[in-house]
Amino acid sequence: MLALVGFANAQEKTINEISSFKPKDSGTLMDKNNDVDGYYFFYEVDKLKKGDREFAIRILDNNLNDLATKSYVDNKNTVLVQSKFNNQALIFAMTNYKEKFYKLITFDRQANQVENIQIPVSKKEMRWLNAMKQTGNFNFLFPVDNKGFLFNYIRDNNKLGYGLKYVSTDGGTSWDYNSPDDSKSILTLNPIEANDEVVVALEGSKKSLLSQTINYKVIVIDIKTGKFLFERSFDRKDNPRLITNAFLTEDRNLVMLGEYYAAGKNIMKDKSEGLFAETVDLTGNVIGDSKISWVDKIDPIMPANIDGKKKKRGYIYFHDIVRTQKGTYYAIGERYRKTASAAGIAAMALGGNRGGSSSVTQLTITNAAIFEFDNKFELKDIKVFEKGKSRAPSLTDFGSPQLNAHALKSFGAFDYEFTQMDTKRDRFYSAFIDYERLKGQKNKFAFKAIMYNDGSFSEDKIYLEEDKGKIQYRVMPGKLGNVMLLEYNRKEKTVQLHLEKLNIQ
């Protein structure tokens, strides 16, 4: 856990009278230009009679001034699972295990309650939803900027299927898109992109729970009506691919990115051949398909490390993709590889790790890497930025490193925090938490920003120090050029907020 050192010039705010709070119960409010417009916080204030709880929803502006605080009362069996903001409204997804329902509550930017939706659910469906969330490859709530929210859940029909509920916040139509009730396969859905035109979701299909083969296809849905538009199949036999990102270009074409595999390979276990970017129009016609081989294209231009040596490439996990005003794309990622875990091996030698992870492998996460692509997604350059190693136990020793990486991302295994871009799209910066191993002095954590400014890169960092145990910390975006640190003191029941300015060239 981390704390910023030195706040002489930082703006600060303290929130008191908090009975129960989790750092995930807070977030940023973004304006229409994707700059930070403020912050929201959801926390328990008091325990009331008959098992009720009083909560507060508090909204601050980007200078940490109070805008609104509203009270919300609910039963103790109703648990907040996740919250999101879409530039118009807040949504809180709740579950009630005793009364068996999901609850979706939306609030406007002034914290006024707008809508309350309940969805009946069985215990079996709740168990499966929890299991899917634990895989890390499942978006439970998905915001659609300035339009609405997607709620993704499990449905128990002939086998197992999915339900996708769209909640509009801009006056449009809300809708539901469900898997067929008579499906003979186990079907899951994971939204990976939603914009003012379409929803892009990745559908997985397995014949049985124990099957080691899963086939994926991309389903594209009209965001206004919920109607199916088209699909792209990536089956194991002919065209196995792992899609990780998707976005809409300025000329309204859809780009899907990820890793491609040799025909017949199993993405659950095998190594990928490289990266791909497939472009389709909104009727499903393929416009372009760019493949970038690890061996032929990426390895030859991968920069050496500071010591001049090129270490084993491993893999790249891409967190975000930004487009600059020049029409070039930058993919921000981290390098990682699958390695042996000394702690896991020792635990197995002593008879296994009861109650914990029994993995003898781990992901070792190293340097940040930024890939530059032209407007046709041809690879132009790779920049590597030195960063300390982080390690995370594999969820399974038998799965591919790529699938482990996607699952572990949801548990905070990577060092990446966020990326922000200015309104002119000529500058952006990506933030990481770096663990620096320093010779002759105590190792330190640092908040590192990698900044792009009109074609060139620079770095800035703010050193952090270790927490002593009673405080939880979270780094969040600030108004452009700033970073905000949230400190939750579990003993004092307070939240302390700090704004710190970055040195952006």
- Taking the C-alpha atoms of residue 485 and residue 337, their distance in angstroms, rounded to an integer, is 30
Low-confidence ranges of the chain (pLDDT < 50): 1-10, 348-350, 353-356
CA-CA-CA-CA torsion for 473, 474, 478, 481, nearest 10 degrees?
A: 80
Q: Look at residue 235 and give its three-state secondary structure.
A: coil
pLDDT of residue 175: 97
Reported as a single tens digit per residue, the pLDDT across 17-48 is: 788 887 768 888 877 666 888 999 988 889 99
Rounded to whole angstroms, the maximal C-alpha distance in the chain is 67
Question: Measured between alpha carbons, how far is 301 from 7 in angstroms, rounded to an integer?
Answer: 41
Q: How far apart are the first and last CA of the chain?
A: 29
pTM above 0.75, yes or no: yes
Question: What pairing do the DSSP bridges indicate for beta strands 361-373 and 379-385?
Answer: antiparallel
Own/partner long-range contacts of 380-385 (Cβ < 8 Å, ≥24 apart): 380/328, 381/301, 382/298, 382/301, 382/302, 382/303, 383/303, 383/457, 384/302, 384/303, 384/305, 384/335, 385/448, 385/450, 385/457, 385/459
Phi, psi of 342 (to 5 degrees): -60, -40
Render pLDDT for 169-188 as a digit per residue (tens, 0 to 9): 999 999 999 999 888 888 98
Write the DSSP string, 386-410.
----EEEE-S-SSS-HHHHHHHHHT
Amino acid (one-letter) located at 141: L
pLDDT at 3: 39
As given in the structure block, the two tokens for residue 77 are: 């069996």
Give the DSSP per-residue string, 322-352.
EE-TTS-EEEEEEEEEEEE-HHHHHHHHTT-
